Amino acid sequence: MSKVFLALQAVEETRAIIEAIKEDNEHAVVEQQPAMTRVTAEGKLVVNAQTVSRYVGRDWDPQEIQLVLISLAGNVDEDYDHFTLYWEN
């Protein structure tokens, strides 16, 4: 299966997102790089708004990911409560 990939700026706002990703995606691999946090996962990666909200201490809107996003690979699916990357093969 192909890997999806997400790169976020290594700033304060990203911390909660990464923690949530680790909690909800066991297969995800997180890698710190200069100024950037990279996440790769086989097939699918889900960012749950509820989980991030818990880590950040307030209601978090998945669209806020726009503020820290650097790059991604995969098809995007988003709704009020999640932001998901996936490949279909």
User: Can residue 71 be called a binding residue for other proteins (CB under 8 A)?
Assistant: yes
Q: Identify the residue among 22, 27, 34, 84 touching other proteins (CB under 8 A).
A: 34
User: Can residue 12 be called a binding residue for other proteins (CB under 8 A)?
Assistant: no
How far CA 24 is from CA of 28, 34, 47, 76, 82, in Å, comes to: 9, 25, 8, 17, 11
Which tokens go with 69?
């996003």
- What is the distance between the alpha carbons of residues 27 and 23, in angstroms, rounded to a whole number? 10
Min separation Cβ 47 and other proteins, Å = 13
Q: Which residues pair with 29 in a beta bridge?
A: 40
Min separation Cβ 2 and other proteins, Å = 4
- What is the distance between the alpha carbons of residues 58 and 13, in angstroms, rounded to a whole number? 12
Min separation Cβ 70 and other proteins, Å = 4
Toward other proteins, which CB reaches closer, 29 or 76? 76
Binding site for other proteins (CB under 8 A): 2-3, 7, 9, 34-35, 63-64, 66-73, 75-76, 78-80, 87-89
